[in-house]
């Protein structure tokens, strides 16, 4: 069972418990079938389609979901996104959990697209962070990609990111931190280091960092950093990033900018599932 | 293992996998201890303290978290919220997952408080919905209460809520739906029914609904509904609710108003965890 | 995986372990197919059909079970209840676990029917309790309904039931307990309170209890309680209830009577599964 | 997590779900402590003490249970069995699940003792079967031993028991079945075979069965079987066994008798847990 | 989920984590299908076919594996063992985990066959031990059988094996140990006891052991032991057993010899999976 | 529960099932305590100490293990490695599973040390592969490090490794494969590509591979490859690597060599656990 299936099982467990959907049990005969249409109620970028469909199949394998537009599509308000059919009980039980996943995914994709649009045509890439809803890392990272932004490392395992506490732990030297990371880190992961001033940046470049993260620097400082790096090492701006600031950062010439807000503060998109009892 | 522990295990699994935190493994000796302070970086209502602490204890039972203010406290920017100590490795590994949980919880509590403040001194209660992040139902519902708003039913099992699809499934009659629910639903749960016009409201009251949800009605219609109900049955306004509209709804005299936004669109609060290598 | 599937997995785990059915492995070739008939060996009310079939499907998805009579049917000794077919190994491995579930379910349904029959035509409803076999709550509650009796709350989450310890915890006042429950309990659950004398009953009614449980009262006292309640609040008699006493309780006029024995002391019904090697 | 812990987790899950004990949450402050006494309300043989205590510790590790009498003790009505203390919330939440396990365990131990007493002083051993409540195999088998009766094999893995279907699967020959079992079964398990008539018994003895089960034979037939076996192989009587018949079976001279009723039809014993808010 | 499925899930979890196969995600379109052939690259005895196929089905149920030779077959270098087809992504993701299982299984089967061949035509049976890779007990025991050797007990539950620590625990007497085991062990398991000298052997035979294990005895001592046992009880030689010594042990006349090396020190067989993008 | 704990739970489950250690239950009183010493019976490099200790603590938290030498230590035959104490039942039950883990870990560490020693003082690093026992990836990789060799990527998630099937999937071009990987792979992982001839090597270097794996090349070809690479990109030799060939590879000048045998074909080291009933 993969991580998304574990999350869906957990979500259904908390919504149903052992007692189940008491309204549906009381009112909907098990043999009744239904159909449904999923509509976008506002303009958005779609994401989370597979997650949406999995919830229905898990509740009742006889439920089917047919998507009319793919992940990553930019749709207008009123767009018909999917058609569903299956036992009405299953459709009703799965509805809320499926929407909770997909509305959040679409919210992230839409905000990511807004960010990516700000830097279109430049070399600047907008990255997400590890500030994701617990259990939804994979889905949220896929939603960021669906919106046209890029992923930072997935977790603590697929990239070295040296922060102030790590540097302090080896005695305060950026060089020592980079050397020790190089010696002990997995062979195929790159080493990024976070710096807060230009001296640290110089030391990091000098000691061979693969990527440098510039923490909470203003535009002037970032501009100096770009000059110092001179294209020898990719630079990532991080901290205090707003949508408005993105074009300026592209102009300054950093390579990456990471924004926690893409995942931790996206609002849910308005999607509506209309169900009907099917004629059958 | 309760539902929150399952979510924390899932979150740590996706962040660590089998390979773990490669940066910390490379740079932080296992015997190094650390201390930390958790600061509120903006005004907020606190929530999720227990979840925050559990993450650290799960990563390493030797980590301790001491809270200086309780769930539900309204704090200013700069407030010291908690002190931590334990093996530095554990503190670093747990940090992001713990913050992801707590920042979201505080965001919900803060938004809930804002909503609750709008109707303070009136009988109107602001309710959450089932539009919660998958796996976080319990934590999000507690955050709503921490902010001073109230909980709607927890899941599909602890309350009957009859919607249009349920009414259609029994042939379209509100009375039939209510009678069948009364006959088959668990003995100690109340029966709420969603209506979209005043005729349905009259039929619902007549047939003995315990609570009536007024779906997407404008202020004028809600006012008529309150007159019709005449205090015989509690009324809940739902759909298209904004913070701005809340005082008007209180004035109109409905008993409850439910807002999906409390949970599905709260932004993460800015909390900062500062770690230090401890002297010892 | 729902709660019944978890129970079935646990039951098969304890019966098979990692080493499996050593008799069947040694003697039954994997390609051999079998058929079976499930017979009621004594009069009974059927229940647990789905649970019975799930065990076979879990052991081997190629096993099929066709039921000839539904849950809730009252059958005579000798009734053919189901036909099975599938790989003989699977049929043999699943047999005992499937029967263990179904014999217990039928026992509960049969005892529940006996109780329900005693009060047929009256308004008195016979309720179960939470005294169920661990892990079998859902199956046992469904068996009670199959027999024609009714369910009390499912668990600790779908109804407030205030007992002496809860009253003591708030300082001893029934009114305080009811008020606090009203303020803090989920919005759609009713509040029942247990009383042991008529003064408490009066206080509970006065303070607005939704249901009152009369604990261990004799017939005379119950009669007085019914007079006091005067139809304003439903009454539940509990404690020391026997089948023989049920008609008298109906006559006295309480609304509900709860019996732990329905689930905790029903004996297993005699069902027999006859397997044959099929000609194939 | 062992099988009993898995069962306890499942039982608490179905009783609490994600929403928890809404009565206790509303009325019992988390800091309140309680004490309790567990009383036997009728004469019984004790069993399930460890299971009882584990439920409390799992709900809250601060709960402690001190037993005053051990598993297997025969106690009178009114005996004080255990003292408990801990947070009152934990005691209240665990109470019902713990009692459900222990009352069933004591019921089985008490019935087993009644059976064992019938054959006291003879060589006849009363055995249980695999007819146990799903998930409770280990606890029920321990309860049988606590009552003084003996265990048949635990599951399908720790003994070969050849029944009619197995014999049919190898072509109908008892000798072939025994030879094949000998060749393929695990090296340290014995081979028992079920026979329904005396010819089969002779063939089974001749072919070297380790134990022979005599299925549904009347007393006269059993007597002949004992004469035929002549002590060369242990005999087990099975099917249609009542408590009343046990002394006669001892007199006839079979070695074992197995009774499904020991586990599948024992009634729950009456145990009562009295809780108090502790002074502290 | 059985034990092998749990192991496969664990193995895929550690290989994929939540982030998945980043190479395949980047380069292989999801709709691309592939075919594969599994070749033996050296002479070997096949085992683990079902485990191999299960990994592919678990990764993607659309993957199919068709075996051309069965478990237990002795094949030459170059033998085509299986054909696979399915989505190329699934084939690539499952490949390594499936091979890891099967190469180990074939290694054990091949070494077991080598051992079994050494004693062919004699009554001596070569047994495995519990020295298996954690989680692979069932697969490794099946591989031993596929190679033509035999299984000792599966685990701690399906046979009594009394060692020096057990004898010490009852006060040092072999007779006491055997009697207590007889009294308390499950009814259908045999009792084996480990002895280190001939006096202990005599005592064990005298006290009725079902099997005696001769621990670390040289050939001369084993010969004496066989004479003492005189066929009254089966003897197992254990400790310091090499392939070379097996024919001598057969000649000496012990009944069983157990070799930990069959499972703990078999090397992986060379099997090669060649995948192709299918024309489709 | 981390991956190693899941493996230990699985291993104990298969060894104990629901029925447990029947020998120990019959013969060892629960209150008896024991002590133990763990001895190396041959020269070896130690690894797996934590895994060894965890098994005992999981079986019974009262068991303690004190190590006298650390992971990575090279010890002589006869070295006292650890002292244990705890309830004798727990020590006996955990013994085999703990040894199975540690003997395998030490086998891998010892073989890894042998390989590392062959290239000591050169820049050549000996790497492991993903050919590990299912469920033991983390333990086996740590054992490789304990022996002084290095780890290749942990799983499919922490490094891109492009093989022939991936190249074919993008149409056969090495350049296309590298470009697509660069565009789609996680930002902090490096890209390694497998080549089988020198033209492919040139193309890979030209297209900017981070590392190149030279598949199954003989010494002459490898020498040419080193010349072509000229230090611009690290080279890894893979396929057909033996211990004997390692010094030659170091001399040739490749940077890495990967050996599946380190993990898939190490034999178990001889470690012996001697238990005693403790005086107390």
Q: Please, are residues B180 and B208 in contact by the beta-carbon 8 Å criterion? A: no
Give the distance from residue B146's alpha carbon to the nearest chain A alpha carbon, in angstroms: 20
Q: Quickly count: other Cβ atoms within 10 Å of residue A280's Cβ.
A: 9
Task: Identify any residues that bridge with A276 across adjacent strands, giving them in sequence order.
Answer: A35
Looking at B159-209, which runs of residues are DSSP E strands?
160-162, 191-195
The pair phi, psi for residue F105, each rounded to 5°, is -60, -45
CB D132 within 8 A of CB D112: no
On the CB side of E219, CA atoms within 13 Å amount to 10
**B131 given a catalytic annotation:** yes
Under 8 Å between Cβ of E162 and E181: yes
Per-residue pLDDT, averaged over A171-188, amounts to 94
Judging by DSSP bridges, how do beta strands E33-40 and E80-87 pair with one another?
Answer: antiparallel
pLDDT in tens, A29-53: 999 999 999 999 999 999 999 999 9
Q: Which residues contact E267 (CB under 8 A, 6 or more apart)?
A: E107, F261, F264, F265, F267
- 3-class secondary structure for F209-261? CCEEEEECCCHHHHHHHHHHHCCCCCEEEECCCCCCCHHHHHHHCCCEEECCH
3-state secondary structure of F80: strand
| pLDDT tens, per residue, chain D with 280 residues | 789 999 999 999 999 999 999 999 999 999 999 999 999 999 999 999 999 999 999 999 999 999 999 999 999 999 999 999 999 999 999 999 999 999 999 999 999 999 999 999 999 999 999 999 999 999 999 999 999 999 999 999 999 999 999 999 999 999 999 999 999 988 999 999 999 999 999 999 999 999 999 999 999 999 999 999 999 999 999 998 999 999 999 999 999 999 999 999 999 999 999 999 875 5
For residue C140, indicate whether it is catalytic. Answer: no
Q: Is the pLDDT of residue A1 over 90?
A: no
The pairing of strands D44-45 and D74-75 is antiparallel
Give the pLDDT band of residue C1 (cuts 50, 70, 90): confident
- Yes or no: say if B184 and A26 are a contact pair by the CB < 8 Å rule: yes
Collapsed DSSP state (helix, strand, coil) of residue A35: strand
Residues of A in contact with C1 (CB under 8 A): 9
List, for chain F, all residue ranges whose pLDDT scores fall below the cut of 70: 279-280
Tokens in use for E37? 């052939």
Confidence of residue C240 (pLDDT cuts 50, 70, 90): confident
Mean pLDDT throughout A220-224?
A: 98
H-run or E-run covering B129: none
Least confident range from A165-169, B274-278, E100-104, E211-215: namely B274-278
Q: What are phi and psi of F201, to 5 degrees?
A: -60, -50
D17–B155 CB contact, under 8 Å: yes
The contacts of residue E171 (CB under 8 Å, 6+ apart) are none
Give the number of other CB atoms < 10 A from CB of residue B144: 31
Active site (annotated) includes residue F123: no
* pLDDT for position F1: 78
Chains contacting C with at least 3 CB pairs below 8 Å?
A, B, D, E, F
Catalytic status, residue A203: no
Among the listed residues D83, D96, D182, D190, the single catalytic one is D96
Q: Which residues contact D218 (CB under 8 A, 6 or more apart)?
A: none
Can you list the alpha helix ranges (DSSP code H) found in D79-218?
A: 88-118, 137-146, 164-169, 174-184, 198-206
Helix, strand, coil distribution of chain B in percent, nearest 5: 45, 20, 35
ipTM of the complex: 0.95
Compute CA A257 distance to the chain's CA centroid, rounded to the nearest angstrom.
Answer: 15
- Displacement of CA C89 from its chain's centroid (Å): 31
Distance CA B125, CA C183 (A): 12
Q: What is the pLDDT at residue E1?
A: 78
| Cα separation, B182 vs B161, whole angstroms | 12
Please write the tens of the pLDDT for every residue from F187-225: 999 999 999 999 999 999 999 999 999 999 999 999 999
CA A229 – CA A214 distance, rounded (Å): 11
Q: C182-198 burial, b for 16+ CB within 10 Å, e for fewer?
A: eebbbbbbbbbbbbeee
Instruction: State the chains in contact with B (3 or more Cβ–Cβ pairs under 8 Å).
Output: A, C, D, E, F
Three-point CA angle D143, D147, D151, nearest 5°: 60
Tell me how far apart the alpha carbons of residues D171 and D152 are, in angstroms, rounded to a whole number: 27
Residues of C with CB under 8 A from a CB of E: 9, 16-20, 22
Q: Give the CB-side neighbour count of residue E8, counting CA atoms within 13 A.
A: 26
- Mean pLDDT (whole number) for C91-118: 98
Q: Is B123 annotated in the active site? A: no
Cα(E100)–Cα(F277) distance, integer angstroms: 40
The catalytic residue among C57, C74, C96, C180 is: C96
Interface with chain C: mutation pick from D134, D211, D263, highest number of C CBs within 10 Å: D134
Residues of chain F contacting C13 with CB distance shorter than 8 Å = 17-18
Cβ atoms of F17 and C18 within 8 Å: the answer is yes
Please say if the pLDDT value at position B279 is more than 60. no
Task: Enter the tokens of residue A48.
Answer: 């989370």
Task: Give the residue numbers in B contacting E (CB under 8 Å), as ranges.
Answer: 13-14, 17-19
Q: Which of E57, E74, E96, E130 is labelled catalytic?
A: E96
Q: Which tens digit of pLDDT belongs to each residue from F111-147?
A: 999 999 999 999 999 999 999 999 999 999 999 999 9
Pairing mode, strands E256-258 and E235-238: parallel
SS3 C28: coil
Distances (CA, A) of E7 to E92, E104, E140: 19, 14, 13
- Tens of pLDDT, residue by residue over B208-263, are 999 999 999 999 999 999 999 999 999 999 998 999 999 999 999 999 999 999 99
Question: Between helices B174-184 and B198-206, what is the axis angle to 10°?
Answer: 40
- Looking at residue F87, its pLDDT comes to 97
Do E101 and E51 meet the contact criterion of CB atoms below 8 Å apart? Answer: yes
Supply φ then ψ for residue B74, to 5 degrees.
Answer: -95, 120
Sequential DSSP letters for E142-179: HHHHHTT-B---SSTTSSEEE-HHHHHHTTS-HHHHHH
Q: What is the distance between the alpha carbons of residues F176 and E210, in angstroms, rounded to a whole number?
A: 69
pLDDT digits (tens, 9 = 90+) for A203-212: 999 999 999 9
Q: Which chains touch E (3 or more CB pairs under 8 A)?
A: A, B, C, D, F
Taking CA atoms, what residue in C is nearest to D169?
C28
Distances in Å between the alpha carbon of B226 and those of B127, B205, B218, B247, B249?
Answer: 18, 12, 12, 16, 11
Largest separation between any pair of C-alpha atoms in chain F:
73
What single-letter DSSP state applies at residue D243?
A: G
- Please, are residues C169 and D28 in contact by the beta-carbon 8 Å criterion? yes
Res C242 pLDDT > 80:
yes
Phi, psi angle pair for F67, to nearest 5°: -90, 140
Per-residue pLDDT of chain E (280 residues; tens, 9 = 90+): 799 999 999 999 999 999 999 999 999 999 999 999 999 999 999 999 999 999 999 999 999 999 999 999 999 999 999 999 999 999 999 999 999 999 999 999 999 999 999 999 999 999 999 999 999 999 999 999 999 999 999 999 999 999 999 999 999 999 999 999 999 988 999 999 999 999 999 999 999 999 999 999 999 999 999 999 999 999 999 998 999 999 999 999 999 999 999 999 999 999 999 999 875 5
Q: What is the pLDDT of residues C121-143, one digit of tens each?
A: 999 999 999 999 999 999 999 99
Rounded to the nearest integer, the mean pLDDT of chain B is: 96
Q: Identify the H or E element spanning A235.
A: strand A235-238
Which domains are seen in chain C, by residue range?
3-110+267-276 (3.90.1170.20), 150-258 (3.20.20.70)
């Amino acid at each position: 069972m993969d991580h998304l299936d574990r999350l869906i099982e957990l979500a259904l467990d908390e919504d149903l418990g052992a007692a189940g959907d008491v309204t549906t049990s009381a009112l909907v005969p098990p043999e009744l079938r239904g159909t449904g249409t999923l509509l976008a109620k506002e303009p958005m970028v779609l994401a989370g389609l597979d997650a949406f469909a999995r919830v229905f199949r898990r509740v009742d394998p006889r439920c089917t979901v047919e998507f009319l537009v793919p992940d990553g599509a930019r749709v207008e308000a009123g767009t018909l996104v999917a058609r569903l059919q299956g036992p009405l009980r299953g459709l009703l039980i799965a509805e809320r959990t499926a929407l909770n996943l997909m509305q959040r995914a679409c919210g992230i994709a839409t905000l990511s697209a807004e960010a990516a649009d700000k830097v279109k045509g430049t070399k600047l890439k907008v990255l997400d962070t590890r500030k994701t809803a617990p259990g939804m890392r994979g889905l949220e990272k896929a939603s960021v990609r669906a919106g046209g932004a890029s992923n930072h490392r997935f977790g603590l395992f697929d990239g070295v990111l040296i922060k102030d506490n790590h540097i302090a732990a080896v005695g305060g030297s950026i060089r020592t931190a980079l050397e020790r990371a190089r010696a002990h880190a997995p062979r195929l992961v790159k080493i990024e280091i976070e710096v807060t001033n230009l001296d640290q940046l110089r030391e990091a470049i000098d000691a061979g960092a693969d990527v440098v993260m510039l923490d909470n620097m203003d535009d002037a400082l970032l501009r100096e950093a770009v000059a110092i790096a001179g294209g020898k090492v990719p630079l990532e701006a991080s901290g205090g990033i707003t949508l408005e600031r993105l074009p300026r950062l592209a102009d300054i010439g950093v390579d990456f900018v990471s924004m926690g807000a893409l995942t931790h503060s996206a609002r849910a998109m308005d999607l509506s599932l209309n169900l009907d009892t099917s004629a059958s």
